[in-house]
Amino acid sequence: MLSRKLRLGAVAIVLGALTLATQVVSPTFQEYRRNTRSLERMQVFHAALRAATLVSAERGPGNSLMGDDNDPDSPYLARLQTYRESSDLALDELGRALSADSDAAGEGAPEALTLVRQRLAVGRREVDRVAALPRQARSPEQIRQAITTMFTVVDTLVPVVNACGARIIENDNKLAGPVILARLMGDLRENAGRIGSLLVPSLVTGQPMNTAQRHGVNRLRGRVEQLGATLEQHAAVVLHDDATTHLMEQVQRRYFGAALDLVDEVVQASLAGRVYPLTAGQFTERIVPDFRPLETLRERVVVLTMQRAVAARDAARNSMLLSLAAVLASLLVLVAILVGADRLVFRPLLRAKREIVELAKGDLREVPPPPARGREVTALFEAIGVLRQRQREALVRDKERQVLSERLRRQAETDALTGLLNRRALEQFGEELSHPDSAGMAAGLILFDIDYFKRINDSHGHLAGDRVLQEVARRVQAMIRGDDILVRYGGEEFAFLTQASPGRDALRAKAEKLRAELQARPIVTEDGVSLTVTCSFGVAEVLPGDGAWLRLFQAADAALYAAKGGGRNRVEVAEPIE
């Protein structure tokens, strides 16, 4: 009965949640998020386009100022200041937008904008420097250099604009058309502006255009014609209303007509060797207004796209809210169904779950039985009670086994007389040292035994010998570091293992210190006999690795025997181990 109720409840909840959440709520929520991101990224893209346009437009009054007399009251000076302030405000706005966009920040856009500001400052200083010279002292090279530095600013900003547009397309490829169209018109505006800037040095100095200028103008002119053909195709697809048609006609008449005709007029005058028909300032004042239809068209494309993004976001939000309302209505139905089963199934199961979880955590306290909720629930809690009792019994047995196991382990690894680790424990450390994958610092081993220990046993008895072993172990244990290992290896033999050897010389010094300490203070037996005890020491060092323990022990053992053979009560150090 209980299983059937649980299955029916689980099926109803799972099917309802999956059906509503997956098929209704989730798609509408994703659509809302996508449209919201599109709008946010379009706003950043808009700010980037505006900043690029204003920085590019700043070249116009700058070019005019470099072509004007060095007059502090020049109208071009005030106009340049206004343009620069507009550029700075646009860059500030773009900086705030990029900082708020985590994707742009992660791709390094704020850092690129910092570089734009730095290069813009350099370009402005260069323009101001040339403008401060007397007009007759300004050479074409100086003017071209100033213009080139301003070109570099836009070149640095263009990747930021492109990255902003790419993030829009990545989020929603349906916006690729407007984004590409806006970037296309930005390229047209910049290329035409650069054509005009290439003519400025000659207009300022009155000199004919050189070969590089002509090639540059021709190259940019060809690029403008290619972009113009592409613009006409994309505009017809993206926007097809009367206002757009009117703006496209103005672009054709003024940008591709009047502006480029003015460029041709200046180029023809240069080729014919005639006096230029206008100054740099007059040229700028005539050509810049013809760029405005293109800028207006681009602004319209961006604004209309943003308006469509707002409408799409609002529609997705409304759809999401309707979906949520449907989900809530369905949940109310589910709640009505679950309330009836709550007292019979869910509450007892939740309590059973809590009790089982507490059992798993080791809480074995008695819990009062729940109110009667049917035979199945009663049987469930009786089973939990049986499980609790068996857990208590198992816990008692586990503790007894742990105590016994620990006692046996200590007995197996501990020397009963001295309380030190025994040979078995030392060999376990040695196995770790010899593991093929072991690496790290060198290990050091000091083997030592008590000189003439058999005489002590023979002359004073085994109790005196035991006293000597215990006192030697106590004194040496007091002189070693906490992470070093002291072992009674055999009858009167001891081993001192350090797994982070300080070096052979330091090990020798340590052994000498132990030897001197043991010799300096006699050991008094239980019978009051004072015995002077000396020890012989063998020292070795090895790096961890396959077979390291055997080599280390053999080297230290050989050094110990050398110490005994050399008269005892001395320290011998083994040669470095390969």
What pLDDT digit, counting tens, does each position of 453-473 carry? 999 999 999 999 999 999 999
pLDDT of res. 122: 93
**Which tokens belong to 392?**
């208590």
**Which tokens belong to 293?**
């239809």
- The bridge status of strand 523-524 relative to strand 571-573 is unpaired
Residue 511 pLDDT level (bands cut at 50, 70, 90): very high
What are the CA-CA distances from residue 24 to residues 149, 319, 322, 352, 560 (Å)?
55, 9, 9, 35, 83
Q: What integer is the mean pLDDT of 494-498?
A: 92
What pLDDT digit, counting tens, does each position of 32-53 carry? 888 888 888 888 889 888 998 9
Q: 245 versus 161: which is more confidently predicted?
A: 161
For the chain, how far is it from start to end, CA to CA, in angstroms?
Answer: 75
pLDDT of res. 468: 94
Helix (H/G/I), strand (E/B), else coil: 569: coil
Residue 140 pLDDT level (bands cut at 50, 70, 90): confident
Residue 136 pLDDT level (bands cut at 50, 70, 90): confident
Task: Work out the mean pLDDT of the chain and round it to a whole number.
Answer: 83
Surface-to-core class of residue 534, CB atoms within 10 Å of its CB (0-12 exposed, 13-18 middle, 19+ buried): middle
**DSSP states along 167-187:** HHHHH-GGGHHHHHHHHHHHH
Task: Give domain limits for the chain.
Answer: 25-322, 364-413, 417-573
**Which tokens belong to 506?**
């330091």
pLDDT of res. 361: 67
Q: What integer is the mean pLDDT of 434-439?
A: 67
Is the pLDDT at 404 greater than 50? The verdict is: no
Q: Which are the contacts of 76, defined by CB distance < 8 A and separation ≥ 6?
A: 61, 64, 65, 68, 281
253: nearest Cα among 297, 196, 222 = 297
Residue 505 neighbours by CB distance under 10 Å: 10
Helix (H/G/I), strand (E/B), else coil: 73: coil
Q: What integer is the mean pLDDT of 365-370?
A: 67
Strand partners, 541: 444
Q: What integer is the mean pLDDT of 297-314?
A: 85
Residue 88 pLDDT level (bands cut at 50, 70, 90): very high
Strand partners, 537: 448, 571
pLDDT of res. 577: 79
Q: What integer is the mean pLDDT of 320-333?
A: 79
453: nearest Cα among 466, 441, 471 = 466
Crossing angle for the helix pair 2-20 and 375-413, nearest 10 degrees?
A: 90
Residue 448 pLDDT level (bands cut at 50, 70, 90): very high
pTM: 0.55
What are the CA-CA distances from residue 496 to residues 37, 140, 484 (Å)?
68, 87, 7
Distance CA 279, CA 80 (A): 17
Distance CA 353, CA 370 (A): 13
What are the CA-CA distances from residue 369 to residues 109, 219, 366, 372, 378 (Å)?
65, 92, 9, 9, 9
What pLDDT digit, counting tens, does each position of 333-366 carry? 766 675 656 666 666 666 666 767 666 666 667 6
**Which tokens belong to 549?**
């323990």
What pLDDT digit, counting tens, does each position of 528-561 carry? 889 999 999 999 998 888 888 889 899 999 999 9
The CATH superfamily assigned to 417-573 is Reverse transcriptase/Diguanylate cyclase domain (3.30.70.270)
Distance CA 458, CA 452 (A): 10
pLDDT of res. 487: 94
pLDDT of res. 536: 96
What pLDDT digit, counting tens, does each position of 176-216 carry? 888 888 888 888 888 888 888 888 888 888 889 888 888 98
Distance CA 327, CA 334 (A): 10
Strand partners, 488: 494
The owner of tokens 């813009």 is 120
In the chain, what percentage of residues exceed pLDDT 90? 21
* Range scoring the smallest mean pLDDT among 23-27, 289-293, 559-563, 564-568: 23-27
In the chain, what percentage of residues exceed pLDDT 70? 82
Is the pLDDT at 253 greater than 80? The verdict is: yes
**Which tokens belong to 344?**
């019979």
What pLDDT digit, counting tens, does each position of 15-36 carry? 766 676 677 778 888 888 888 8
pLDDT of res. 408: 47
**Residue pair 483/500 in contact by the 8 Å Cβ criterion:** yes
pLDDT of res. 241: 74
Residue 462 neighbours by CB distance under 10 Å: 10
